[in-house]
Amino acid sequence: MKKNKNTILETAKQTIIAESNAISNLVNFLTEDFENAVKFIHKSNGRLIVTGIGKSAKIADKIVATLNSTGTPAIFMHAADAIHGDLGNIQKNDVVMCISKSGNTPEIKVLVPFIKNYGNKIIALTGNTQSYLGLNADFVLNCYVEKEVCPNNLAPTTSTTAQLVIGDALAVCLLDLNDFSSKDFAKYHPGGALGKKLYLRVSDLINKNELPQVVTTTPIKDVIIEISKKRLGTTAVIENNKIVGIVTDGDLRRMLKDNSDISELTAVNIMSENPKTIQVDAMAIEALETMENNNITQILVEDNTKYVGVVHLHDLLKEGLF
């Protein structure tokens, strides 16, 4: 029998509520072991090796990605591969975190003694603190969930979500201890829009553009030519290298609408005074925010008080900032 729309939506709501309740309950399982594990990783001169089997291995891989991107060196090691040669990844000062819901999977039970023989500390991320893994680890992080949201209580769902949340908590605590800043984040995320938001500056954009400029006495004909020639839809009006106004395509349209004779007009007659500006060393994302907040498509750029360029909304669009 096909389920109707309401039944599907109700199942989705119940799933989300059940998982959110299980996650909220994790705060009751935080112990000194969590704090001590974070401190030990932070003081370690090695890396954090994260391992697991099945769905836990996929969670381990994601946790490693989060750790690496937030300043904690980490390596993913599949538990099955570990006992077939990948144990060589573990170096003297490394810490190993094993992820297992039951803590009794065969691969984990084989792996743990080898790690202990190497002298490396073991962190258990498990839903069963009395399991083989839990009893043989140096630090135990409890991610117990009462049941999976799977109707058969079989498919890893709530349990893997809980593992991921504990992994995030671990990463954020280490991030905090490392005083990891937005500049550090940009260093590890140089690609794509995310990285550009963190490192791209206004100075990187204006070098690609022309420098449209007129003075207050420039005739309207020449103002139009300057705007058309520089192809930015605007020109700065300057005196002594300082911005005194701006003329945009919109100003030209309003001028033509309001004046039948433009032969005597100059830039000062149609310019907008006190235009929005931004400093050359500002972040590009600040330029975007200023444009959005003021409903404009160009912003003039200054180096202290000297006019040095224009940033157009299209420049930010090309960089993928929105």
The 10s digit of each residue's pLDDT in 285-294 is 899 999 999 9
Q: In which band, very low, low, confident or very high, does the pLDDT at 196 lie, cut at 50, 70 and 90?
A: low
Does residue 182 register a pLDDT over 70? no
| Average pLDDT of the segment spanning 169-184 | 86
CA distance 195 to 185: 8
Does residue 5 register a pLDDT over 70? no
Q: 49-72, pLDDT tens digit by residue? A: 999 999 999 999 999 999 998 889
**What would you report as the CA-atom Rg of the chain, rounded to the nearest whole angstrom?**
30
Does residue 193 register a pLDDT over 60? no
A 10 A CB-CB count for 57 gives: 20
- Name every residue whose Cβ is closer than 8 Å to that of residue 214 and which is 6 or more positions away in sequence: 222, 223, 226, 235, 236, 237, 238, 247, 267
Question: CA nearest 61: which of 48, 46, 72, 50?
Answer: 50
Does residue 244 register a pLDDT over 80? yes
CA distance 224 to 199: 35
Does residue 1 register a pLDDT over 60? no
Percent of the chain with pLDDT over 90: 76
| Average pLDDT of the segment spanning 107-134 | 96
Does residue 225 register a pLDDT over 90? yes
CA distance 300 to 148: 56
- What pLDDT shows up at residue 69? 86
Does residue 265 register a pLDDT over 90? yes
Residue 272 has φ and ψ, to the nearest 5°, of: -95, 125
Helix (H) or strand (E) holding 230: helix 220-230
In terms of average pLDDT, the best of 13-17, 206-210, 283-287 is 13-17
pTM tops 0.85: no
Q: Write down the mean pLDDT value for the chain.
A: 91
Tokens 């109700």, residue? 10
In the sheet that holds 213-214, the strands lie side by side as 213-214, 234-239, 242-248, 272-273
Does residue 301 register a pLDDT over 70? yes
Give the SS3 label for residue 243: strand
DSSP label at 4? P
Does residue 192 register a pLDDT over 80? no
- What pLDDT shows up at residue 56? 96
- What pLDDT shows up at residue 252? 93
Does residue 151 register a pLDDT over 80? yes
Delineate the domains of the chain, giving CATH numbers in brackets: 5-180 (3.40.50.10490), 202-318 (3.10.580.10)
| Average pLDDT of the segment spanning 280-286 | 92
CA distance 79 to 108: 7
Does residue 2 register a pLDDT over 60? no
| Average pLDDT of the segment spanning 108-135 | 96
Q: 74-120, pLDDT tens digit by residue? A: 999 999 998 888 888 899 999 999 999 999 999 999 999 999 999 99
78 assigned binding-site residue: yes
- What pLDDT shows up at residue 83? 84
